[in-house]
Amino acid sequence: MGGHSEPMKASEVAALPIRAGAALRHARLFHPDGVLCNGTLTRRAATGEGLPIADGDVVGRLSKGAGMPGALPDFAGLAWRCRSEGSSEPWDVLMVSATARVLLHPSTSWSSAVFSTLMPYGYAGQTYWLRARMTSPTQVTGLAVEELRRLLREAPVVIEVEQASGGADFTPLAVIEFDAELETPSPDGDVNFDPTLNLPAGLSLRPGWLTRVRRRAYRSSRQGRDAE
């Protein structure tokens, strides 16, 4: 009461419920149930055309946003860690099922989900949007995490990634093939994807104020579940 502590920033206040929820759950507050995957990324766009995503190995995660049980509809999540052209810095991309680029939308199955970053990237003076969808297998019933594990044992799960500059049409950017489930590598049993921190130089998420709120929220979630 009589100290001289600094007032909390708005982003810190907004993140408090996330930290508390993660602590109560001892897990992620959002997207708590998912499958970690090994895979590869192959660039489809020409070099220098749009975002600088590069060929290489990836670690990914497919998940359910609200943790609804079994095959019930939920917000489908997609995350992966890759590299950019000419850089060794990690690049984390997080996406969720959505419509109209920015509107969260629950999905009834993995193969019907259309994923969006919800926030665009700033790069080379332009604004770019990303979207993705599962193209193989083509018919997946329901949104069960166990079904994903079964599919990975049988054949690669293929994700097509597209980009759009501003309000232009989407065009192919890359293909990701997840070919095996990954053993959890961190003490809390997961990879801590963070698109606000793991971002190569020259790239930014827009707008900046929302990026700051998200950065604090991700950190609070990690702190809440003792992953930081």
Identify any residues that bridge with 126 across adjacent strands, giving them in sequence order.
123
3-state secondary structure of 175: strand
Domains and CATH numbers, the chain: 31-205 (2.40.180.10)
Omega of the bond prior to 207 within 30 degrees of 0, cis?
yes
Distance of CA 211 to the CA centre of its chain: 14
* Six token digits for residue 22: 């993660």
- Tell me the mean pLDDT in the region 167-191: 83
pLDDT tens per residue, range 45-59: 999 999 999 999 999
Over residues 9-29, the mean pLDDT reads 36
Is the Cα dihedral 26, 29, 33, 34 positive or negative?
Answer: negative
Q: How far apart are CA 64 and CA 75, in angstroms?
A: 6
Convert the pLDDT of each residue in 214-223 to its tens digit. Answer: 888 766 654 4
Taking the C-alpha atoms of residue 48 and residue 119, their distance in angstroms, rounded to an integer, is 22
Average pLDDT over residues 149-157: 94
Pairing verdict, β 90-99 and 114-116: antiparallel
| The predicted structure's pLDDT at residue 36 | 94
Pick the closest to residue 193 from 169, 174, 172, 219 (CA basis). 219
3-state helix, strand, coil in the chain (%, to 5): 20, 35, 45
Is the predicted pLDDT of residue 18 greater than 90, yes or no? no
- In which band, very low, low, confident or very high, does the pLDDT at 32 lie, cut at 50, 70 and 90? confident
Name the DSSP letter for residue 113: -
Structure tokens at 111: 């193969």
Q: Tens of pLDDT along 77-100? A: 999 999 999 888 999 999 999 999
Lowest mean pLDDT among 33-37, 119-123, 153-157, 189-193: 189-193
